[in-house]
Structure 1
Amino acid sequence: MTTPHRPAHLRLVAPQTGNAVPQPAGSAAPRIAWSAQELMSMTFPEPRWAVPGLLAEGVSLLAGPPKVGKSWLLLGLALSVAAGGKALETIDVAAGPVLYLALEDTPRRLQSRMRKILAGENAPAGLTLVTSCPTLPQGGEEAIGRWLDNNPDARMVIIDVFAKIRGTSAPGLSAYDADYAAMGMVKRLADSHGIAVVLVHHVRKMGSEDFLNEVSGTNGLAGAADATLVLKRARGTADGILHVTGRDIDENEYALSFNSDAGIWHLMDGPPEDHTLSEARAAVLRYVRAHPDSPPRTIAEAIGLTREHVKKTCQRMAADGQLVADASGRYRHRGAE
């Protein structure tokens, strides 16, 4: 019986002894197989963080509704990381080159926004801004790779927005496979250079209890990403909630405040509920005045908060005499009785 052909780079493990079978001489491909004992005896470096606790090496997908402030958030982070100092005015970050592909912006708009954020400070030399780039299959992957080769100490690449650079899908691929393949090109760049790559994306119009389900497109996008972040902000409010989960990041929610005069997002202390409750009550009140006898799910979808948050808020407001609930759990303003 002939021995089946195996790729030369595959390093086999003997099934009985557990001893590793050496790779063929001359193979330059990376090792991809280990015995369990070998793996447990190895020491790996900690992940490199662009923004500790939020953005680690690998691919992070940042999603949010249009005009919620994603670009302001990432431009501020890019400036902070390129210069070193404080990200979101609270998180210590190490300095290093940053590439920001601002593919929906103009030089004039970028200058205007940076002038507001910097407030008279000098712009960091380590931040490179680009307003046009080929799609990934048509040379974009190579172009970003060259920049990374020329900046070996780079800490972050931002692509705003991913749709501008992902390119067309290969014929015959399902939507899921097309999304996963597009993410795979970015993942190659991130993994081969050990760098954080942030992709800006949009969310679905319909809300969801699970913030991961709000990411537009198929599950292939969030599934291929190392981390997913969703930024939410109720219309007319300055505060936002950043939902975060990932392979190297604990699932969490962070309360943020946006200073529109300075163009700066600030990370607030404590859980989001400590900062959004009063504004949530105001948003709920406005909605039920216009739409009496509404259930929490409908209210949540309309004002851009989670159903659980709205449900608890409505219960507290009913206990405080601000709302009245009927037997089916629908709410109306007490003054509408």
Structure 2
Amino acid sequence: MGGCEAVMERDLIASHWPQDLRSAFIEPPKPLDFVLPGLPVGCVGALVSPGGVGKSMLALQLAMQISGGPDWLELGNLGRGSVLYLPAEDPWPVLHHRLFTLGQYIDARQRVALERDLRLIPLQGANPNVLDSHWWKAIALWAEGVRLVVIDTLRRFHDADENAACAMTQVLGQLERLAMGLGCAVLFVHHTSKSAAFQEAGDLQQASRGSSVLVDNVRWQGYLATMTKREAQQLGVSEGLCHRYVRFGVSKSNYGPPLPERWLVRDESGVLRSVTLGDVRRERGKRVLL
């Protein structure tokens, strides 16, 4: 065995050692540190929806709230901290428009906090790849000290086959390594499958596009689903306006109760806000409006 390989082996063994079970049995654990409701530090989550529904704007608004911005979605106190937002799908002029629009809703104190704690690095056209060691190290460097890393969208951060379980396990493994190594949470934005979008089933766990690993291996999965015509009729929303309303909820939450589903309305500028339209519950797999 060469010297380099021997050092790597020693480092690997030193970093993975049996835990002290005696202390685990007798010492109360620290409370889980949740970055989003149900998504704790050290874990990877997904935000899934069809294209054009507003998931990138939602991801940006969540990033801004954690960095010191307003609570547009009425999620309550999420805990303050720095956020690294890596959009690789939209060009800077589009991002500039979104930021300028959202900036109209923040006060001077919030603006100072956001300018300090929100790290936004546009990567459109840069072909970032978490499977490439150079790219992974760059992202890890940018993410030092942050509470949340937002990957927008996952498809733009790897060159592997999205339907291959082995490849997606490696991709998620790199994101988990980032979350655990830096003590943050990682949230990636992802698309639903065509069949889920066609069947209006974007709020189900298996709506995520690609290998089932992308659902099975994440600890948290949120969704956005456009209001259907049937829902609009039952809620008294004009059919011509139903495209402005989306349901936001959590279809998978391993470490806490799911976030209560809520309706969001998208204004003319694309900003999402919480709105009360009625209570929604599930009965035998169907949505029933109360």
2:40 pairs, out of 56, 59, 63, with 56
Change (3 A) 1:237 1:85: closer
Corresponding residue for 2:139?
144
Gaps of 5+ in 2: 1-8, 229-241
* Separation in 1, partners of 2:195, 2:86: 28
AA aligned to 1:182 is: V
Q: Which moved more, 1:86-95 or 1:108-117?
A: 86-95
1:334 corresponds in structure 2 to none
1:128 equivalent to 2:112? Answer no
Matches within 5 A, 1:1-337: 28-35=14-21, 37-51=22-36, 53-57=37-41, 58-86=43-71, 88-119=73-104, 121=106, 123=111, 124-125=114-115, 126-132=117-123, 134-138=128-132, 139-149=134-144, 152=145, 154-168=146-160, 175-207=164-196, 208=201, 211-234=204-227, 236-244=242-250, 245-261=252-268, 263-268=270-275, 272-273=279-280, 308-309=286-287, 312=288
Higher Cα Rg, which structure: 1
**TM-score, scaled to structure 1:** 0.66
Cα deviations by residue, 1:265-316 (Å, 9 ceiling, x for unpaired)? 2334697428xxxxxxxxxxxxxxxxxxxxxxxxxxxxxxx9612xx57xx9
Tell me the amino acid that sits aligned with residue 178 of structure 1.
A
* CA apart distance, 1:209: 9.1
Whichever residue aligns with residue 108 of structure 1, its letter is P
Aligned to 1:335: none
Tell me, yes or no, if the aligned pair for 1:84 and 1:95 is still in contact at 8 Å. Answer: no
Q: CA deviation at 1:252?
A: 4.6
Which sits farther off after the overlay, 200-209 or 220-229? 200-209
Q: CA separation in 2, counterparts of 1:247 and 1:76?
A: 24
Post-superposition shift, 1:186? 0.3
Report SS of the residue matched to 2:178.
helix
Q: Which has the higher contact order (CA 8 A, sep 6+)?
A: 2
In structure 2, distance between residues paired with 1:241 and 1:96? 27
Deviation at 1:31, TM superposition (A): 2.9
Change in 2 beyond 3 A, CA 1:164/1:32: farther
Root-mean-square deviation over aligned CA pairs: 3.1
| CA distance in 2: counterparts of 1:174 and 1:72, whole angstroms | 26
Corresponding residue of 1:327 = none
The structure-2 alpha-carbon separation of the partners of 1:196 and 1:219, relative to structure 1 and needing over 3 Å to count, comes to same
Kindly, what percent of the aligned residue pairs are identical? 22
Deviation at 1:222, TM superposition (A): 1.1
Contact 1:64–1:70, Cα closer than 8 Å, also in 2: yes
Residues 45, 187 of structure 2: 8 Å contact kept: yes
